[in-house]
Amino acid sequence: MNNTTLKAPACLFDKVKAHLEIIYPGLDADTLARKAITVFKPMHDSVDDSSCVSAIPLWSEKEIALITYGNSLVEEEKRPLRTLNRFLEEFTHDHFSIVHILPFFPYSSDDGFAVMDYYTVNPSLGDWADIRKISDRCRLMADLVVNHTSSRTRWFENFKKGRHPGKDYYVTVDPECDLSQVIRPRTTPLLREVATPDGPRYVWCTFSHDQVDLDFKNPEVLMEFLSIIRHYLDNGVQVFRLDAVAFLWKEACTTCLHLGQTHKIIKLMRTLIQAHDPRAIIITETNVPARENLSYFGIGDEAQMIYNFPLPPFLLNTMVTGNSKGITDWLKTMPDTMESTTYLNFIASHDGIGLRPVEDYFSRQEMTQLIDLMKAFGGRISTRALNDHKDNPYEINISLWDAMKGTIHGREDNFQIERFLCAHTIMLGLKGIPAIYIHSLLGTENDYERRENLQSNRAVNRHIWNYPDLCKKLINPDDHHHQVFFALCALLDKRKQQPAFHPDAGQIIFNINRKIVAFQRRPNKKSNAPVLLCIHNITDQAVTIPRKDLPEQWQRTGVDLILEKTVQLDTGLNLAPYQCMWITMTK
């Protein structure tokens, strides 16, 4: 295992104070630092502010995440969180080391992302005891919905009445203020007029008028969220997903994206969280162009993980076009990660397949072609407003299973399962930690009824399974849900056995031809584990790779770990449509 470690700061108090001095210049940073540190005591190996050093690995090749809602699986008269735990026990066993339960708090809209009470589990799902039971099984990832609250939270009710806490918790602006540069992923009006004892106020709503943005210029808001983080830690949360954090700090006449105070607040949170639990991790959810996304690593002192947002659209486009040039060129440009940082690789999630991360890579023709094909497969396109006042494509809303129905060449075909599994095999081999959405794990189709009932494009990929019905499908060998689930689980088992798939292991991208995605993974120098050649046919045609086109060191006899068969690389390589190989050389 790679010795990725965490080191506590030489002087915690000084480090926290330094962050706060930059976030809140002119305020009493000493008092704020003491208040913040007190929330997180006792500290790891130390109850004072002096330094302590830990050598605790953050991750290994065995790290694989499952993304799910608390109620993605339901049973009659059963708490959904208990049904989820039952599914983890009965079907997934130890395949997943991390489980991301999407917001499990009382909410008013946006499937949980308009939080009404951060300290309470939604009683329709279960309670904190149910959450802790899942956290006993694996590392629990939870959302810290940090940018905004529900308009029905107690804080906002107090805001409207001019009471504390809440009176000064929200961003208010003069509607005449210049907000023309603000970037946001919605087309609804940015400001909402609210009656208060002091007259009408205009509150900032990045996402919807039910999601009101918090004002982190007020340090009491930050202290409130530090208390929330501590509450999560006490209830088993180890991975903190900072939702929509890029929008956190607002300044007129700016884009209000990625501002310096936002980065400092994340660094402060990391400092305090790690002092309390050195194995805890921050992951930032920033669905923005790739270069902007990378900034959330800081200099190794900010998020330990960032979402690899370009991967879903790149991989989807690769699979439906049968052309690897785009993804190969992009992978070659991806910077290596610093110590104690890595990517969270995924293809699908509860949201759509974001298009903004590839705006600088896809031509207009490529984008239009992909969008038109996804519409043909039952998808919808969500848009966002830009300064051109047009609705611009923001994300594709479709289940990944249906997105893989066919290609641009023949539309729907008979290779849906093979194409779907090939995409996941590529993702599982890439540098980083892989995450699989539960509806990809289960091969769930588009839920048109839910989309229409909720009048939400995203609902098409947020199906709620009746657990007994799902179990019947999972035990039926002729059902595609069974075939997808067990094929993916077999791949997960094989991946976890290979140190070359450690998140910190080296990666080299090869440019063999446009029908192939190929890369090498090399374990840590201290490991005696084998190097792997990961090679994937991304077309619906058989492909032959001549020996001369293979990397020089891969022209002898090897073993394909997926099929567990010997392969004669010295005579070239033959791959069936969508066949994938993880090859290690024989001695």
Q: pLDDT (tens digit, 9 = 90+) per residue, 240-250? A: 999 999 999 99
Q: What is the distance between the alpha carbons of residues 240 and 2, in angstroms, rounded to a whole number?
A: 23
Inter-CA distances, 212 with 78, 183, 585, Å: 33, 16, 56
Nearest to 575 by CA among 529, 542, 526, 527: 542
- Sheet strands side by side (includes 532-537): 506-510, 516-522, 532-537, 580-585, 557-560, 565-568
The CATH number of whichever domain residue 538 belongs to comes to 2.60.40.1180
Kindly report which listed range (159-168, 287-296, 339-348) carries the lowest average pLDDT score: 287-296
Residue 478 neighbours by CB distance under 10 Å: 7
**pLDDT number for residue 51:** 40
Location of structure tokens 């997808």: 484
- Would you state the structure tokens that stand for residue 472, as one six-digit string? 């019947």
- The answer to whether 241 is annotated as binding is yes
Write out the two tokens for 140. 């629990």
Q: Which of 81-90, 396-405, 479-488, 550-559 has the lowest mean pLDDT?
A: 550-559
Phi, psi of 401 (to 5 degrees): -60, -50
Give phi and psi for 178, each to the nearest 5: -75, 105
At 388, the pLDDT band (50, 70, 90 cuts) reads low
With cut-offs at 50, 70 and 90, classify the pLDDT of residue 387.
low
Using CB atoms within 10 Å of the CB of residue 485, give its burial: 0 to 12 exposed, 13 to 18 middle, 19+ buried.
buried
Question: 389 among the known binding-site residues?
Answer: no
Question: 443 pLDDT band (50/70/90 cuts)?
Answer: very high
Instruction: Report residue 534's pLDDT band, with 50, 70 and 90 as the boundaries.
Output: very high
Three-state DSSP at 7 gives strand
Distance separating alpha carbons of residues 231 and 138, to the nearest angstrom: 18
* 30 labeled part of a ligand binding site: no
Helix (H) or strand (E) holding 100: strand 98-101
User: Can you point out the beta strands (E) in 286-378?
Assistant: 305-307, 342-345, 353-354
Give me the pLDDT at residue 52, please: 41
- Give a yes or no: residue 530 inside a domain: yes
Any known ligand binding at 174? no
Determine the average pLDDT of the residues in 202-217: 98
Identify the bridge partners of residue 392 per DSSP, sorted by sequence position: 384
Provide the pLDDT for residue 1: 38
State the pLDDT confidence band at 2, using cuts at 50, 70 and 90.
very low
350 is in an annotated binding site: yes
Res. 6: pLDDT tops 60: no
Is residue 198, in this structure, part of any structural domain at all? no
For 63, residues 6+ apart whose C-beta sits below 8 A from its C-beta are 97, 98, 433, 503
Q: What is the pLDDT of residue 55?
A: 59
Which ranges of 475-553 would DSSP assign to H, the alpha helix? 480-496
The rounded percent of the chain whose pLDDT value lies above 70 is 95
Report yes or no on 558 lying in a domain.
yes
Compute the distance between CA of residue 67 and CA of residue 141 in angstroms, rounded to an integer.
9
What are the tens digits of pLDDT across the range 131-150?
999 999 999 999 999 999 99
Domain assignment present for residue 240? The answer is no
Q: What are phi and psi of 559, to 5 degrees?
A: -125, 130
The pLDDT of residue 11: 85
Q: Among 17-31, 41-55, 64-78, 158-172, where is mean pLDDT lowest?
A: 41-55
Active-site residue 301, yes or no?
no
Percent of the chain whose predicted confidence (pLDDT) is above 90: 87
For the chain, what percentages of helix, strand and coil (3-state, to nearest 5) are there? 35, 20, 45
On whether the CB atoms of residues 378 and 457 are closer than 8 A, the answer is: no
Phi-psi region of 171 (alpha: psi -120 to 50; beta: other; left: phi over 0): beta
Q: Is the pLDDT of residue 7 over 50?
A: no
Whether residue 242 is annotated as binding a ligand: the answer is yes
> Is pLDDT above 80 for 316?
yes
Residue 484 lies in a domain: no
Residues in the chain: 587
Q: Is 110 annotated as a binding residue?
A: yes
Taking the mean position of all CA atoms in its chain, how far away is CA 391?
A: 25
The total number of structural domains that make up the chain: 1
Arithmetic mean of pLDDT, 256-284: 97
Q: Reply yes or no on whether the pLDDT at 583 is more than 70.
A: yes
E-strand ranges in 28-133 read: 65-68, 73-74, 98-101
Q: Flag whether pLDDT at 9 surpasses 70.
A: no
Report the chain's mean pLDDT, rounded to a whole number.
94
Examine residue 60 and state whether it is found in any structural domain, yes or no. Answer: no
pLDDT above 70 for 396: yes
- Evaluate the omega torsion of the peptide bond into residue 42 and state whether it is cis, within 30 degrees of 0: yes
Domain that holds residue 545: 506-585
Catalytic one of 130, 143, 243, 447: 243
For range 71-86, the mean pLDDT: 98
Matching residue, tokens 């951060």: 118
- How far apart CA 354 and CA 295 sit, in angstroms, is 18
φ, ψ for residue 342, nearest 5 deg = -160, 170
The CA distance from 407 to 282, in Å, is 37
Structure confidence by residue, pLDDT tens digits, 500-517: 999 999 999 999 999 999
Does the annotation flag 19 for ligand binding? no
Q: 344 — phi, psi (to 5°)? A: -100, 110
Domain annotation covers residue 564: yes
Residue in the structure block whose two tokens are 């060449």: 409
Name the one residue in this structure whose structure tokens are 């279960």.
126
- Domain annotation covers residue 571: yes
Q: Calculate ∠ Cα 41-45-48, nearest 5°.
A: 50
- Per DSSP, the chain holds a count of helices (H) and strands (E) of 17, 27
Quick check: bond before 165 cis, omega within 30? yes
